[in-house]
A and B are shown apart, each in its own frame.
Chain A
């Protein structure tokens, strides 16, 4: 039987394969299959699944892709991820992709959709306006229209007719997927010494680039293997990471945080995979409506969603308490307006609730971690040594 180490290695290989080999292979294995790339954060992949497609998460080039041409498309004061994506596009990594989706999370992603249009990438490029109005008959209706527009676009490519049954099947598969992901996180929260945060990260990220059925098998296996493990708890603090929901931290940064005396027990990396909190209703006669309802009523909190009636700081504190965390690390990509403009709100609520936090910036290709390691180490020590005192190291 495959060991956990082998499984993690396999996942890491899949997760960081910038050639999207498994996705392309899947496409070649059947007629009428389409690959649709989607940018962070969340897209209801069930829709693509129902149209005989595979939604492939595009998360930039990380520290694995050297930027040569991408810098000619972005000024130095724009975050790193889009230049990695353009580099991948120009180098032909997406050549067998049929379409691209750009969820409405910020102006950089919005304008990147325009660049893809100008570069004539794929058979369609859609900037996807997620509603910021959460009433079913207003924002919900508009969202449904946006989703059906994607269905039409795919149908024009592969002539697949939309079928509610097929969508209901997809809903069940993705419900399962989220439940399994939550189970992995649950195990990690309970016994974080059994598997490191970077290993969990690779397992979850693999799901961005392979069929959901395969990912569910991987998750089941991981849960089974974790159940039979012991391991030794270490003297580390439990932290929650906030701000890395779009541009992803390099794996070495996640490792560095843990090596510096922390267990990352909650985070917003790969947030799309756990965006919907709970299940999308399956088996209804209006499965698109079910997806819409889930988005309107079961979305997690995020810097990209208008939150006035459901303040994100309250939800963050609730999650913090539920996770039994000791502190928060605000780790945002440099120049990320959505994440950074939330900092004053979230940090002042930490202050009001006597929650200790630190904050630093990263970029997906950060290679030097010395300063961060020291900062995190001091944070961890301060929590361990002065438990009960309020110390905010900024």
Chain B
């Protein structure tokens, strides 16, 4: 019997952090705080905080709308005003939410942006998204921060210089203008000191899946763990506190030899360890997770939790070089890595965390992740001789979530893993 779900202290801290943030947003007009819309990859919230502004993440709002079963209507409303069925559903969900009054996940209204920070990292659609928002919020300035792709598996000094110049000459002046606050490098450095601590803690947290049983699920629970760092708390003392608390709770589970906490209770019997590539489906998140729980499958690493920053390969912000660090941080986000780097990273995860299989959740409307995934699968299968599987769904469009289809595919995949285990043990 699964045991009762216990709310850990870290969960309560996170809930409060997020609630406070949305409360602050809902009163931004009264308090005079300026609001910046931006994206999770290349999420330079430290800079936003250095100007005392509040970030809003349309992607997070979209995924929350998906979880709260509101996305279907939002998407259809966006399609009604001319958006195609074939494009990224986050964009449509966000635009649908906006035309329906912009009520955020906590039921409070999200204020319109004072600045659109187009941190154009790892996804081409971001640019199209904000070109659309720009027209829906006429007069709001856009600050473009173009992040070059790591096409040659490296960050060159020229790439960093290009980004730093944009920060200095495009982004910072617009932030100064909108906020009325002067850029203060010392303040940014102090914020980045916290980011560096948080990055360390995140790496330690996700590294605990080396244990058997794994004390956490690095995908389904992982998306909650990355919540604060991806939604505006990079560089805050609250984030440092949250991640330290979370880490100590997880270490306690390791000490007690416990498996991950899931909505169905604690996972008591770890049968399969998987590495998963691709974002999850949000509209049926709990059913989706339960499918894995029922099969005794734990996700020991996922690419999705690296979408707002990759720390496994040694990158940390350096508070003494604040703008260079922000640039390098953006360029190091998962979807800004080229296919070979993604394969290397996933390979490392499979090996380090002793995964039994590799699974792709391919998202219908996300080219940034999906294009190339079949080749990633082929390569990992070839290099590591590991069973690979593919399921398909969408982020926030419930029309593309087929429970039976996913269940059938997972069944065959887990059968394959079982057979392999028998052969390997023979």
Contact = CB atoms under 8 A, between A and B. Distances in A.
B131 A306 contact: yes
Nearest to A346: B82
Interface in B3-52: none
Contacts of A111: 339, 367, 371-372
A356 to B, nearest CB: 15
Interface in B111-134: 118, 120, 123-125, 127-129, 131-132, 134
Interface stretch (A54-62, A132-140, A211-219, A319-327): A132-140
A110 B149 contact: yes
Nearest to B337: A114
A345 B367 contact: no
Interface stretch (B164-172, B185-193, B414-422): B164-172
Contacts of B403: none
Interface stretch (B85-93, B243-251, B268-276, B320-328): B85-93
Contacts of A128: 151
A258 B196 CA distance: 61
Interface string B310-343: 0000000000000000000000000000111011
B364 interface: yes
Interface string A92-124: 000000000000111110111111011000000
Interface residues of B, number: 53
Contacts, number: 155
B83 interface: yes
B372 A104 contact: no
Contacts of B385: none
Interface in A300-340: 303-304, 306-308, 332, 334-338, 340
Nearest to A114: B339
B367 A127 contact: no
Contacts of B166: 133, 138
Q: Which of B170, B343, B367 has the most CB of A within 10 A?
A: B367
B128 A114 contact: no
B148 interface: yes
A107 B374 CA distance: 15
A228 interface: no
A77 interface: yes
Interface residues of A, number: 54
A112 B371 contact: yes
A202 interface: no
A145 B7 CA distance: 53
A183 interface: no
Contacts of B131: 306-308, 341-342, 345
Q: Which of A108, A111, A345 has the most CB of B within 10 A?
A: A111
Interface in B200-225: none
A107 B82 contact: no
Contacts of A106: 124, 367
A188 B165 CA distance: 45
A129 interface: yes
Contacts of A303: 128
B345 interface: no
B82 A132 contact: no
A82 B127 contact: no
A129 B151 contact: yes
B50 to A, nearest CB: 21
B82 A347 contact: yes
18 contacts: A72-B374, A104-B124, A107-B124, A107-B368, A111-B372, A112-B372, A114-B340, A128-B151, A131-B146, A133-B166, A142-B158, A142-B161, A306-B127, A306-B144, A340-B86, A341-B83, A341-B128, A344-B83
Given A75-B370, A82-B371, A304-B124, 15 more contacts: A72-B374, A75-B374, A107-B371, A108-B367, A114-B342, A115-B375, A117-B338, A118-B339, A128-B151, A131-B146, A132-B144, A135-B169, A306-B127, A347-B82, A348-B82
Interface of A: 72-75, 77-78, 82, 104-108, 110-115, 117-118, 126-129, 131-133, 135, 137-139, 141-142, 145, 303-304, 306-308, 332, 334-338, 340-345, 347-348, 361
